Structure 1
Amino acid sequence: MDLPLFYAKDIAPGTATYTMDEPTSKHCIMVLRKQKGEQVLLADGRGNKFTAVIADDNRKKCVLQVTACENVPAPTPAIRIAICFTKNASRIEWFLEKATEIGIQEIIPVLSHRSETEKFKAERLQNILVSAMMQSQQYYLPVLEAPVAFDKVVKQSKDSQRFIAHCLPESKTHLWQAMQPGKDTLVLIGPEGDFTPAEIALALEQGFQAVSLGDTRLRTETAGMVAATMCKCANVAG
């Protein structure tokens, strides 16, 4: 059976003992019913994996004896999704959870002409990422950027391949066919109502390639997941 994994943001390599905060201690001791002498795993979200033994099973301040630390190689290539937030906050929260589970490295909330600008609750969203990272037994926490203006995203991106998914009726390559495995990738996903023609034109001027995600019109969060999944699968297949 896999050992339970807990997030320890403030732990560092070389730490000999570590005390869990109260919520984590309660979950470990009261919910999972772990006891003194049992092993657990810790992740700092930066690739470090710690093996530890419960030295004091206090439900408010569980003390661990760290027995080993190893660095897990970062997944490559980097996959970044720049996505406009939706009016329904639960939908974008669902996207963040699932994107973390499949191993996306960075998520950029985009402020476009038609996007929602009042739904960014940093602490809540960060907690969703942490929970998804632990559930999926990963050791890298995706970077969640602060909201960034559309023009800044398209002008400053240095990724090897850059795509913009949109719904305008013009010639586009399917993302699956456009993807080249092994290259850092950024995919732009538009808001409800899509990017404006001016935004699409700006992205194309900056070297983005227009792509399709299929024959049906997708909701923003669904489009984000389709793009993330295709990028991951293309690199596995490649």
Structure 2
Amino acid sequence: MKNLIIASTSTIHGGSYLDYLLPILKVHFAACQSILFIPYARPSGISHEVYTQKVGSVFNSIGISVKGIHEFSNPIEAIEQAEGIFTGGGNTFLLVSQLYENKVMAVLKQTIEKGTPYLGTSAGSNICGLTMKTTNDMPIIYPPSFDTLGVIPFNLNPHYLDPDTHSTHMGETRETRIKEFHQFNTPAVFGLREGSWLEVKGNSIVLRGTLTARLFRPNQEAVELESGSELNFLK
């Protein structure tokens, strides 16, 4: 039975890394003494080692040890044998490239689907959708495919931002970019605002957090969904 927390972000405004999710993560990873961290997305270009240390310091505070996938000689076995898995944020193009390069995209999907607890934030959440085409990130590297895990039956747009009516910025809004996506693609896109997450238990997908989220479907008006909403109708 799938068991995922798919969060828009690791850090909310005014908070520290993962602090807003810690009560949830204590329950989510309750059966885990250790988790496997996938640092491939490398936010701000930090090294795998530095990123893993950052994550480790947080999880150590709730009694869980962390080891980075880059520390294993066989990344496929590392995923298969993990008690729990966390894929952190950063650049989605880089993350997806590394997952394919290390030949772990398929085994990660299989491991999640058999029930290993999974946490994704930002880029690590993007890859839970059908494709990475609705990421906000710059294409700093070219992955062999835009197809991702598909453990939820739609695409995500983490860090979703509403238009700022007081801004002088004249560029495209997130909604505009998603409408452009739907000119050529059919999957629904779920805009997750900061501090929101999806809780996936088996076939159930529920929006959690205090905020609404925005659902986009081709040739339909976007709709706001309240926290607690079931998303099973998207299947």
Place the TM-score, normalised by the shorter chain, in its bin. 0.3 to 0.5
TM-score when normalising by structure 2: 0.32
Query: Quick check: which has more Rg, 1 or 2?
Result: 1
TM-score when normalising by structure 1: 0.32
The structure with higher relative contact order (CA 8 Å, sep 6+) is 2
